Amino acid sequence: MTDQEAPLINGAEQKICEVLPFVDDDYGGVIVEMKTPMDNKSFVAALKYSFAQWRLQGKKGVWLNLPLSHVNLVEPAVKEGFRYHHAEPTYLMLVYWIPEAESTIPFNASHRVRVGAVVLNQNKEILVVQEKYGTLCGTGVWKIPTGVVDEGEDIFAAAIREVKEETGIDTEFLEILAFCQTHESFFAKSDLFFVCLLRPTSFDIQKQDLEIEAAQWMRFEDSACQPITQKNDLFKAIHRICSMKMEKSYTGFSTKRITSFFDDKLGYLYSNNQEDMNNPTS
């Protein structure tokens, strides 16, 4: 992009200003990625000049990506009207809405995605753990392995990984039995919890010492008789669905690989069609 001559805001002198480095987004806005160090005064001048140019071009939202090396620019950006959008380990994203109309910039991710893994063996035993930390620590409650889905990780892969990490058991994904949505959870975010059914391919438990107090194969009837299963709606629902599954009167959601309509990326569709059940993860 070529340098363009522009007056400073007070009009007292002339200075060569350049629009901040940016790329167009898909919605009429711009994404600014700061890679070259810049002092606060030069940044503010370049920012105001950029705003003037973007207004003339009819741009809308401005996404300002500030890596850790540019932390000095956070305060001047906020003073110029930017607000926080989200933070990651290596950068902070701020946003600014140029038009006078109401902003259509989407909020940051609203949900955390978690998985719970139901692992049943041929002896009608369920794989359960006791956690060293959390709300159930020290209560004597046995529960299914659970965890958070990592960025870029598929739901079924997360369930397999969590079981392996917590108990050392290898598994194959069969289907999603159910999912639950709750609100005001982790840092006031909403929560999506997917209950996955897995088939064990190994049986020798090697529990994780960092987070797991104990792990075992427990008779399904004994797990269902725990007091918490009678009092907690989620525990009760999981055991009821598992009972129906073992009686072959319940069909969950199996996976089928698809291409997304929105961005042509590969993903997985979860459905309870019998045809899909015959080809899991195909």
Q: What's the chain look like in SS3?
A: CCCEEEECCCCCCEEEECCCCEEECCCCCEEEECCCCCCHHHHHHHHHHHHHHHHHCCCCEEEEEEEHHHHHHHHHHHHCCCEEEEEECCEEEEEEECCCCCCCCCCCCCEEEEEEEEEECCCCEEEEEEECCCCCCCCCCCECCEEECCCCCCHHHHHHHHHHHHHCCCEEEEEEEEEEEECCCHHHCEEEEEEEEEEECCCCCCCCCCCEEEEEEEEHHHHHCCHHHHHCHHHHHHHHHHHHHHCCCCCCEEEEEEECCCCCCEEEEEECCHHHHCCCCC
In terms of domains, do 126 and 237 share one? yes
Q: How confident is the model at residue 273 (pLDDT cuts 50, 70, 90)?
A: low
Regarding whether 127 and 87 lie in a shared domain, the answer is no
Residues 233 and 198 in one domain: yes
One domain, residues 30 and 146: no
pLDDT score of 184? 86
- Residue 243 pairs with which residues in a beta bridge? none
- Indicate whether 166 and 124 sit together in one domain: yes
- How far apart CA 146 and CA 129 sit, in angstroms, is 9
Burial level of 56, CB count in 10 A (0-12/13-18/19+)?
Answer: exposed
Q: Are residues 124 and 72 in the same domain?
A: no
What per-residue confidence (pLDDT) applies to 15?
A: 52
The predicted model gives 48-58 an average pLDDT of: 95
Q: Are residues 18 and 116 in the same domain?
A: no
Domain membership flag for residue 55: yes
One domain, residues 120 and 220: yes
The pLDDT score that the predictor gives to residue 5 is 40
pLDDT tens by residue, 103-151: 999 888 888 999 999 999 999 999 999 999 888 888 999 999 999 999 8
Give the end of a domain, one of 54, 69, 97.
Answer: 97
Q: What is the pLDDT of residue 255?
A: 87
Domain boundary among 97, 127, 161: 97
Residues composing the chain: 282
Is 282 domain-assigned? Answer: no
Residues pairing with 128 in the sheet: 216
Short-list 218, 216, 217, 281, CA closest to 255: 281
Q: Which of 70, 97, 124 represents a domain boundary (last residue)?
A: 97
Chain mean position to CA 7? 45
How many domains does the chain fold into? 2
Tell me if 274 is assigned to some domain.
no
Confirm whether 259 is domain-assigned: no
Q: What range does the domain containing 149 cover?
A: 111-251
Q: Is residue 148 one of the residues assigned to a domain?
A: yes
- Give yes or no: residues 90 and 115 share one domain: no
Pair 125, 28 in one domain: no
Mean pLDDT of 172-195: 91
pLDDT band at 267 (very low <50, low <70, confident <90, very high): confident
Together in a domain, 136 and 215? yes
Per-residue confidence (pLDDT) for residue 205, from 0 to 100: 97
Q: 82: domain CATH number? A: 3.40.630.30
Q: Are residues 38 and 129 in the same domain?
A: no
Q: Residue 53 pLDDT > 50, yes or no?
A: yes
pLDDT on residue 16: 58
Closest CA to 252 of 274, 233, 281, 222: 274
From CA 179, how far away is CA 110, in angstroms rounded?
17
| Residue 264 pLDDT | 73
Q: Rounded mean pLDDT of the chain?
A: 89
pLDDT of residue 135: 87
Give percent above pLDDT 90 in the chain. 73
52 located within any domain: yes
**β-bridge mates for residue 102, sequence order:** none
Strand partners, 62: 30, 96
Q: Answer yes or no: is pLDDT of 14 > 50.
A: no
According to DSSP, the β-strands at 190-200 and 111-119 are parallel
Domain harbouring 180, CATH code: 3.90.79.10
Give residue-wise pLDDT tens across range 230-239: 899 999 999 9
Per-residue pLDDT band at 274 (split at 50, 70, 90): low
Does any domain span residue 174? yes
pTM for this model (two decimals): 0.78
Q: Across residues 248-275, what is the average pLDDT?
A: 80
Backbone torsions φ then ψ of 57, nearest 5 degrees: -90, 0
Task: Tell whether 12 is covered by a domain.
Answer: yes
